[in-house]
Amino acid sequence: MKIETRLDQDFRTIIPTNYIQTHNLEEGDIVQWNENEKGEIVITFKKSNLFSKKNEKFFY
């Protein structure tokens, strides 16, 4: 599947909704950008408990 997004003036982009839902992404999760030997970019999502709602009291 090919989905295109645009960079804003600060070079940020939006993760498409279907990826957010499919990978159950939440605020604070990590997006890894890796370039393989062919020069292709591979994006990987990793869960992060640091910013999860369970740990909100940690920041108070």
- Contact between 28 and 50 (Cβ < 8 Å): yes
Global model pTM greater than 0.75: no
Q: What one-character-per-residue DSSP string does 1-60 give?
A: --------TTS--PPPHHHHHHTT--TT-EEEEEE-TTS-EEEEEE--STTSGGGGGGG-
Question: For residue range 13-48, what is the model confidence (pLDDT) as tens digits?
Answer: 999 999 999 999 999 999 999 999 999 999 999 998
